[in-house]
């Protein structure tokens, strides 16, 4: 099967690509601008003796998404599993946030899932099979102070997931979301040691999760046909 992963130049996206490659799936990956990161992911994926199609794609731009989906299909074949992983964060007071930054977070985290899904669903419908997995966040479940836009975008992902799952279930296409807690990625490198210690005190397992732990869960969900419309949390008992 062909697995398409957005935002795969690092972190969770890279870990997902490697996990599926280890299980003998061909990989399609993109990022908006981090070409060097994509090349590294491609090398790690191809170490598992599978094919990896790589290109830049602005997942917030419809023309860019259409071109990427078309070019990847010509190179490797149609997408069987779509993993909408691209995302950015913003930390700060809502009243200090610019309209531009608000739109950037919503477009990257939510609109991207709409665009990618829109252009892979037609082929899934023809085959009457497929999986879409969206990467949400615990903040999409409960909200976070100083991260209103991020929380809103991930809450939107949760509703998007549940609604689309109902729409596509009769066609044997599943749609689920994974809701990670505090994961050891570049996005969380902004925290100082004392801040990290305070966060880990709140997490019953006492540590951050790893990208590979998230990737292993995603692989299990993507190979389970009867699970759909679910928001599955992986946070060490935090929430």
Give the residue numbers annotated as catalytic, written as ranges.
150
Q: At what angle do helices 35-46 and 11-22 cross, to 10 degrees?
A: 20
Q: What angle do CA 232, 237, 239 make, to 5 degrees?
A: 75
Q: Distance of CA 109 to CAs 45, 74, 103, 160, Å? A: 25, 27, 10, 12
At residue 108, φ and ψ (nearest 5 deg) are -70, -40
Three-state SS at 207:
coil
The torsion of the CA quartet 151, 17, 192, 33, rounded to 10 degrees, works out to: -80
């Amino acid at each position: 099967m062909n697995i398409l992963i957005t935002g795969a130049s690092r972190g969770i996206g890279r870990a997902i690509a490697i996990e599926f490659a280890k299980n003998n799936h061909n990989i399609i990956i993109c990022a908006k601008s981090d070409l060097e990161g994509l090349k590294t992911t491609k090398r790690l994926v191809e170490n598992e003796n599978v094919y990896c199609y790589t290109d830049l794609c602005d997942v917030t731009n419809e023309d860019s998404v259409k071109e990427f989906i078309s070019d990847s299909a010509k190179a490797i074949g149609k997408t069987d599993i779509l993993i909408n992983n691209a995302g950015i964060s913003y930390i700060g007071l809502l009243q200090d946030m610019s309209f531009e930054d608000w739109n950037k977070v919503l477009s990257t985290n939510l609109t991207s899932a709409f665009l990618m899904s829109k252009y892979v669903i037609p082929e899934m419908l023809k085959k009457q099979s497929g999986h879409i997995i969206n990467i949400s966040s615990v903040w999409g479940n409960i909200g976070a102070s100083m991260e209103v836009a991020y929380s809103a975008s991930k809450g939107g992902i949760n509703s998007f997931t549940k609604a689309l799952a109902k729409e596509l279930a009769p066609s044997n296409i599943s749609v689920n979301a994974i809701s990670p807690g505090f994961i050891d990625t570049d996005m969380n490198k902004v925290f100082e040691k004392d801040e990290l210690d305070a966060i880990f005190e709140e997490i019953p397992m006492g540590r951050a999760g790893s990208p590979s732990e998230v990737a292993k869960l995603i692989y299990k969900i993507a190979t389970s046909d009867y699970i759909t419309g679910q928001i599955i949390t992986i946070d060490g008992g935090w929430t």
